[in-house]
């Protein structure tokens, strides 16, 4: 619902203090049926707000992703499952400190994916 605008009203042609649905921005018509000018205005305000929210959220997440990439670009998991930087210094002795591959776990607990696939194929229960 729209709270800002003119003093005690959303648009100048509504009475001050009007708390009715239409005066607060409720759109009851569809595009097929046709929108009134006020409904069109309120609907476009909601669309613009959604676009702005998406743009802000994307810029924030993009910024965070860039920061993470820059911070982690020199870190790698070696064949012995140790996590090391480019100088070879150990950051973690075991990837994830528990050795569980996140793509093969549920709730942080290891899952035997091959066994589950075999059971599904073979129909074992």
Q: In the Cβ-directed half-sphere of 125, how many Cα atoms lie within 13 Å?
A: 0
Task: Please report the pLDDT score of residue 90 as a whole number.
Answer: 93
Contact 101, 113 (CB under 8 A): no
Question: The pTM is what?
Answer: 0.37
* Confidence class for position 28, pLDDT limits 50, 70, 90: confident
| Tokens found for residue 105 | 């776990």
105-106 vs 83-84, strand pairing mode: unpaired
102 pLDDT more than 60: yes
The Cα–Cα gap between 15 and 13 comes to 7
Q: What's the confidence (pLDDT) of residue 87?
A: 92
Over range 16-28, report the average pLDDT: 78
Spatial CA neighbour of 1 closest among 36, 45, 56: 45
Contact at 8 Å (CB) between 90 and 82?
A: yes
pLDDT tens figures, 30-63 = 888 888 888 888 777 777 777 777 777 888 888 8
Does residue 1 surpass a pLDDT of 60? no
* C-alpha distance from residue 64 to each of 71, 74, 95 (Å): 10, 17, 23
């Amino acid at each position: 619902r729209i709270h800002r605008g003119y003093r005690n009203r959303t648009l100048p042609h509504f009475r001050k203090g009007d708390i009715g649905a239409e005066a607060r921005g409720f759109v009851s018509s569809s595009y097929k049926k046709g929108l009134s000018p006020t409904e069109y205005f309120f609907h476009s305000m909601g669309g613009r707000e959604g676009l702005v929210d998406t743009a802000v959220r994307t810029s924030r997440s993009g910024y965070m992703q860039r920061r993470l990439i820059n911070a982690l670009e020199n870190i790698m998991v070696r064949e012995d499952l140790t996590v090391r930087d480019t100088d070879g210094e150990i950051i973690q002795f075991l990837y994830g400190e528990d050795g569980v591959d996140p793509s093969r776990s549920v709730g942080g607990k290891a899952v035997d994916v091959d066994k589950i696939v075999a059971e599904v194929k073979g129909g074992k229960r």
